Every structure is written in structure tokens, then in C-alpha cells.
Amino acid sequence: MVSRRVKDKLVHLTFFGIAALSVVIISFIFIFLFIRAYPAIDTFGTGLLGSEWNVSRNKFGLLPAMYGSVFVAVGALAVAVPLGLGAAIYLSEIAPERVRMILKPLIELLAGIPSIVYGFIGAILLGRYLYDTFGMRGVNSFLAAMLVLGIMALPIIVSMSDDAMKAVPKDLKDASLALGATRWQTIRKVTIPAAISGITSAVIMGMGRAIGETMAVMLIIGSVMKMPVPFFNVFDTGNTLTALIAVQMGESHGIIINVLFTAGIMLFTIVAVMSVISDILQTRTTEKFEGKR
Amino acid sequence: MSGRKLIALWLFVVSVVVALMGFWFMATRASMDYWVMAGSLILISITCYLSGVHHYLTTKNRHGRYIILYGSVVLMVAGLSIYIPDVLDLRPWEIYTRIPSDFFFSFFMLIIGILSSYVSFRPFHNFTKEGAQSGAYYIIHLSIIFTLFPLFLIMFNIITRGMGGITWEFLTEDIVSMGEKGGVYPAILGTLAMISLTAIIVLPLGVGTAIYLAEYARKGLAVRVIRTAVNILQGTPSIVHGLFGYAFFVLILFNGQKCLLAGALTLAILTLPIVTRSAEEALNAVPGELRDASLALGATKWQTIKKVVIPPSMPGILTGTVLGIGRAAGETAPIMFTAVYFSGTGTPSGLLRPIMALPYHLLSLYRLVGYRDVEPQAWATALLLLIIVLGINLSAIIVREKYRQRF
């Protein structure tokens, strides 16, 4: 018969073991991606950062896909940030409690729509609309991807910025109102500056989501391994790291698979750095208003 | 109502009508005459002038000059637009696109309409700070509408286009001739089997992590590392999970065989941070006094957690798990290399056998659109997937709203 103290200690250890699993998983992801990527890194070295992707000439430069990922994410943010901020201000500062109770779950529902459905709708409806309107060469384009990704990044930006603005203490706002400022002046001069690190964190998370999004992008980006010409041409087709992996994994073998794992490592690293930055910013907000925990 | 307010109201109404017309023309790609746009813009700018002049005449102060300036800009846009060619051909700049003048005209109507309706709040409130507030609130209301608009658009299209395809045959038969006929029965069962297995795997792990973080953890390096790991895991792109599942589960654990278990394990990793976060939130919501009371009665920490902390946080924990499962049900990237085939697997027949799943089915059907007559089937699959995923999420959200504020 084990004593209660020993049993309690064992339970403690078990839970620590389970919690440590997350750390193990992260390291496993990195290690196993690296093992599969190593042959490509070994063979091509910095050639993987080049701009030419040509299977027959054995050139596997990932630059076009990296550029595509960033380009699409920036475009998506240009759509999502202004709209998302407006919506977040509405939810946290203006909406009556009853309206908020309905709208917040609705926006979460928007986040729940599977990305393959976004991609399907984007390709069939938006892609065809843009094709018909602008006489493009095909239904795929950066523009369509940016619009769809912007809509997909919206819920995360709205809900995180809403949380950030809700966290601003009411005393600050009341003080501003008592000085005779209007509610809008208070929002602009008090609430938003106070919540700015939380809002930034929301924008970074939205960007991470846009860079990491796969299925929606792969159906509308065109998956052509080249830079857009000229580089800001939103009507051109291109590729992103995610779409490259998703499309090529099924069709390729040999060293290309290893190249794709290298792309996976790049993606993982970029997004991991972004979540760490976003996390630090968010902790800073909570510490600012609630004191260190 | 004073003349000033009447003019401002008129400006608002005209602008909104112009914006709606612009939106309508853009949506339907109606052919547009230059004079339709120019006429509406000139009307707006005349109203702006009227408002500014009226303000000056009645109050003798010069706040109205900005609205006159704005009216002139609108007039300029209207005038200069006549130089837009019928089709703006961008091909000389290697941009393979031709933008028709119709698009510019409707686009200008939309943008100028929204701007002018925003501007109209200033004269309405006699150029005071209340005017600035109403204008800003107006724009904020517009942005919440535009945020929700895609949701309704997506729902509307999927429901109207997918309804027809959902028949008894579609729900109960296997796929026939590359998806042109037959149904998605094995894919429905596959998805259900996979998410149930995912839930069984992830629930103990997620709740365990949450219990450690909420109940045992003290400040320290280990806790910081675990928290960071959970956050990174939450942000990790689903395609990276797919690659990892392929490299580790499929290639190393299961000898290169795609299978149900490999897919469920991959999805469990994907949902782990979601479950952990909401479970931790639920545990943290239990007041400390309850724990103290239990400990003071001589219960051990584990007894306290088991008997006092977990029961009231159960709804929160389950909500988080269900939300995670909803996410897992719609994911394609993590399972496409680890568990699924388009056809030929039949209904799920074992943990180590591959399956079909709805999200991957939709992807495969989309790839066949244009080669085979599968678009109705694809819409029906999208609708079915949406019903399953949103049904799961909705039930979780309802439970959460119901059990919110217990303490």
C-alpha cells in the first residue's frame, strides 16, 4: 500500500509527463522534418534559396514559394486588418451586450468553416468572377488568394483584438469620458493605444495563419513555381510554400520529397517565430493591466 | 428639421444609393455608361457645395470649406474618368489583364458613395466632435457588416447549390465512376471514425496538460518552456503536421502504410493545444476557495482535483474538446499524406487500414471539375462537410454559453 504522499507525488509526476509531451512533440516535429530534409540540404546547399525551380535541370530554388507566401499574407492583411479592427472596435466598445452575445459566436463560426470549403468557394465563385471581370489567363491568381485568405484571417484578428480592447481597464476609459471626451475620442486616444500590443499580437497571429494556410491557397494560387511578373502583379499566378508541399507531395518522389521537407522546415520556423513574438506581446498586455502573475 | 440637417440627410441618402448601385453593378458586371457614374458623382458634389455654402450663409464661420473641397475632388474624379479607355489593357506591362471601364465606373461609385455618406455626418452635426464620432461609428458599423457578409455569402451559395445534390443515394452509397454518380457513405463514416479516435486520444493528453499547467505548475523554466511549446503547436501550419505525420507515423511506425490510426494521431497533435487551452481556462475559472476548503478538510491535492476542481469545469473541458474535434473534422492537409485515399477503401475496416474522408473527397472532386461532371457532387460534399463541422462547433458554443458564469 503506497502512502498518500507518495501517490500524490506520482500523480504530480504523471501530469508533468503529459504536459512535457507538447515539448517532445515540438522537438520531434523539428527532428523528423530535418531527417527527411537533410539529403536535399546536403545536395543543394544554398541552391535551395535560389529563384529557379526546374526539375529537369535539377534546380530546386524555393525563393518563389517563399516570396509567394509573404506576398499573399501581406495582401491578406491589407484586406483583414482594417475590416477586422473596425469589427473589433464595434464588438468591444459599441455593441450592446445582447448583440455582442450573438455576433461573437457568429464570427467564431466563420473561423470554423473548413479551409477546403473556403478554397472551393474561392476557386469556383471568386476565381471565375475575377477571370470574367479582368480577362485574366486563368481562374487562379494572387488576388483571389489574398481576398480568400483575408476573409479567413478576419475571425482571428477580430476576436484577439476584441479581447485586447476588452482588457483595457474601465477606469481609464471612464477618466477620459469624465474629462469631456466623446466615446470615439476615448477609443482613438485611450483604448487603442492601451491595447496596441494586443492588437499587434492579433495581427501577427493573423499573418501566421495566412502564411500557414494550405488548402484554400493551393486551389486558387495556380501552383506555378515562379515569381509574379512584375513582382507586385496580383493578377499573376505563383506558388506558396504550403501549396508547393501539398501539391508536389502526391506527385513527386526521390530528392524532391526531401526538398519539400526543407520547405516544411522553413514554414515551421517562420510561423513558430511569429507565434513566440505574438505570445510575448500578449503577455506584455496582460502584465500591463493585471500586474505580473 | 433645419435646412442644414435636411441637406446633410439628402447627401447621406444619395451617397448610400450610389454606393449600393456601384456594388450592384460590380457584382453583376453590368455594362455601365460613363454618364451613369458621372451623373451620380456630380449630384453628390453639388450637394456637398450646397451644404458648405448653406453652412457659411447661416453661421458665417468657415468650417464648411472642407466639404466644398471634398465636393471638388468628387467632381474631379467624375471629370477625369472620361479619359479611362473602354478597356485598360495592362499587357504592355506584362500584366496579363484587361480592366474594363465598367469596373472602374462601378468601383468609383462604390468608393465615393461610402466616402460621401461618411462625410455627410459632419454637416449634420454642425461640424462638432459629435459629428466625428457619428461618422466613425458609421464606418465601424460598415466594417462589422462587411466582416459578416462573406459568412452569409458562403452559407447562401453552399446551401442553394448543394441542397439538390444531397439525396438518399448520395448519403448511403459508395463512390461510382470517379464521383459522377454514387455517394459519399464511406467518406462520412471515415470522417466520423477519425474524429472519434482523435477525441479519444487527445482528451486525456489535453486535459492532463491543462491540469498540470493550472493546478501544479509554479513559475519556472519548465513551465515557460511547456507554455511556449503549446503556443507554437497552436500556430503550427496544418501542412507541417501532415509532413510530420507522414515522416514519423506513416514511415516509421506503420511501415509506409497510410492508415486511420496515423491520421487520428496527427489530428490529435493538431487539436492538442486547442483542448489544452480551453481546459486550462475552465480549470482556472474554478475559485481558489473551493480548493482551499477541500485541502483544509485533509484531502490530498489529487483528491481535490478529482472531486472538487474537475466536476464543475467539465462543461468547459468538453466544449474545448468538441471545438478541437470540429477543427479536426474539416482539416485536409494533415490527413492527405497520412490516412486517406479518394476511392476504393470502402468503409473503415480497421485501425491500420486507410479510409476515405469528406474534406479530401471535396478536394479530389474539385480537381476533377472541368474533366468530369462532378460539380453538383462537389457542392453537395461541401454542404455536408459544412453541416457536420458547423453542427459540432455550434453545439460546443451553445453548451459554453449555457454554462458560462457558473461562479
CA trace torsion B88, B92, B94, B97 (10° rounding): 20
For B28, name the nearest residue in chain A, comparing CA atoms only.
Answer: A129
Residue B87 pairs in a beta bridge with: B100
Amino acid, single-letter form, for residue A241 = L
Residues of B in contact with A91 (CB under 8 A): 144
Least trusted range by pLDDT, from B56-70, B141-155, B237-251? B56-70
Domain boundaries, chain B: 3-161, 170-403
For testing contact with chain B, the best of A5, A10, A21, A29 (most B CBs within 10 A): A29
Report the pLDDT value the prediction gives residue B396, as an integer from 0 to 100: 86
Give how far Cα A119 sits from Cα of A209, B184, B363, Å. 15, 20, 9
**CATH number for the B3-161 domain, one of 1.20.1510, 1.10.287, 1.10.10, 1.10.3470?**
1.20.1510
Chain A interface includes B99 (CB < 8 A)? yes
Nearest CA in chain B to A90: B140
The CATH T-level fold of domain B170-403 is: MetI-like fold (1.10.3720)
Q: How far is B375 from chain A (nearest CA, A)?
A: 10
Q: What residues form DSSP beta bridges with B180? A: none
Q: How far apart are CA B196 and CA A58, in angstroms?
A: 44
A105 closest CB neighbour out of B90, B100, B397: B397
State the DSSP code for A238.
Answer: B
B127 contacts chain A (CB < 8 A): no
pLDDT of residue B319: 86
Among A190-199, B61-70, B92-101, B386-395, whose mean pLDDT is lowest? Answer: B92-101
Tens-binned pLDDT, residue by residue, of chain A (293 aa): 567 788 888 888 999 999 999 999 999 999 999 999 999 988 888 888 888 888 888 888 899 999 999 999 999 999 999 999 999 999 999 999 899 988 988 888 888 899 999 999 999 899 989 988 888 888 889 999 999 999 999 999 999 999 899 888 889 999 999 998 989 999 999 999 999 988 999 999 999 999 999 999 999 998 888 888 888 888 888 899 999 999 988 888 888 899 999 999 999 999 999 989 988 888 877 777 766 54
* Whether the Cβ atoms of residue A191 and residue A165 lie closer than 8 Å to each other: yes
* Contact criterion met (CB < 8 Å) for A275 and B235: yes
Given this model, what pLDDT does residue B58 score? 87
Return the SS3 of B100: strand
Residue B404: what pLDDT?
Answer: 65
CB contact under 8 A, A15 and B244: no
Share of chain B above pLDDT 70, in %: 99
What cell numbers appear for B314 in the block? 467539465
A vs B: CB pairs below 8 A: 287
Query: In this model, does residue B273 exceed pLDDT 90?
Result: yes
A15 contacts B211 by C-beta, under 8 angstroms: yes
- Considering only CB atoms, A89 lies closest to which of B100, B140, B228, namely B140
- Positive or negative, the Cα torsion across B287, B288, B290, B291? positive
Phi, then psi, of B291 in degrees rounded to 5: -60, -45
Q: Which residue in chain A has the smallest CA separation from B280?
A: A19
Three-class DSSP category at B180 = coil
For chain A, which domains are there? Answer: 44-290 (1.10.3720.10)
Among B90, B208, B300, whose Cβ lies nearest the Cβ of A18?
B208
Instruction: Please report the pLDDT score of residue A293 as a whole number.
Output: 45
- Give the number of residues written for chain A: 293
Q: With 90 as the cut, is the pLDDT of residue B300 above it?
A: no
